[in-house]
Structure formats: structure tokens, C-alpha cells
Amino acid sequence: MVKIKKAIFFDRDGTLIETFVSKNNKPIAIRKLKDFRLIKNTKLVIKKLSKKYLIIVITNQPDVSRGKNKKINVININNKLKKVFNINKIYTCYSHDDKNYMRKPNPGMIFSAKKKFNLNLKKCFVVGDRDNDIKCGKKAGCKTVLLKKKYNNFKFSNPDYAIKYFKELLNIIKV
């Protein structure tokens, strides 16, 4: 069997599942399983992409270390995500310290996956809805795709691609 050496790293909140948007137009991660809603067309797209790529989720969940959410809630949401999609691995950083190597925009979660799965990062993609997702992908040497939202402006991260609809990934990442 040939080892897969490429992956797509997806951010979780705002990329695969819907977030809430605050009054000052900032995304807020869901905190309870009852609020779990998929972004449109994610199931179809990930099913196609998983034929040629490992599917890996990298997510910052700082609300746990800030005392605004419980770790069990994050784990339950991640487990639901695993049931819905063919996900090879979910990496979660609970820290709110920007110096933490595992916290995006730092590339620690991607480098952990590189080691575990023997990935060629030049053939990998990072897909996210925030500057930190794109910066993380760039630091790791991956191609980057920003999912445009009302709350992002990606002027600081310069993604390789920017899309409005999740389904547009299939025009960028060929399977």
C-alpha cells in the first residue's frame, strides 16, 4: 500500500462548522453540541477530497483555558465532527497563550501531523477563515485557502487562494 504524503488541514470553527458572530463582528466558537451546524457543502467536498488527501483538523480552543468553556464540550463537538466526516486526526490547542508552539498562528499542530503521517507539507493545504489559520499554513510551508466571511479581511496573511463558498475548494484542490 502506498503511503499518503499529503493532507488538507482544516480549521474547525467558521470553516467546517458555523460560528456565532458577536455584535462587534467577531466570530465566536460554539460551546455546546446543540449549536453544531455544518457549513454548506462540507460533507460533499470532504468526501471527495478524502480520496486523495488525509483530512486533519487543527483548532484553537482558548475558551477552555480562559474558563469560558469546558474541555468536555470541545471533545464532544470534535467527536461529532469525526462521526460526520472521514477525519484522520483532530489536533486541539486549549491554550490562550500566543507563545504556545501548538497555538495557531504557530505551526506546531501541523508539524506534529507531519511527523505522525510523514507528510510532504509542500503538497498540503491549510483551509481556514481567519488570518491565524493562513499564517500558520504559511509558516509550515503549505498552500493556503481563506474562506471569506463578513468578519475577516485577510489583509495581514495574504492567502494563496480566497474563496467565498466551501464547494470552491474543488476548483483549487484537484482530486
Instruction: Tell me what pLDDT residue 160 has.
Output: 97
User: Is 80 exceeded by the pLDDT of residue 153?
Assistant: no
Instruction: Tell me what pLDDT residue 154 has.
Output: 64
Mean of the pLDDT values across residues 51-67? 97
Instruction: Tell me what pLDDT residue 37 has.
Output: 97
Instruction: Tell me what pLDDT residue 4 has.
Output: 62
Tell me how far CA of residue 132 lies from CA of 5, 17, 60, 158, in angstroms.
Answer: 24, 17, 10, 11
CA distance 107 to 141: 9
pTM: 0.95
Of 94, 101, 88, the closest CA to residue 72 belongs to 94
**Average pLDDT, whole number, for the chain?**
94
CA distance 55 to 58: 10
pLDDT higher for 20 or 127?
127
Mean of the pLDDT values across residues 75-97? 97
Neighbours of 85 (CB within 10 A): 21
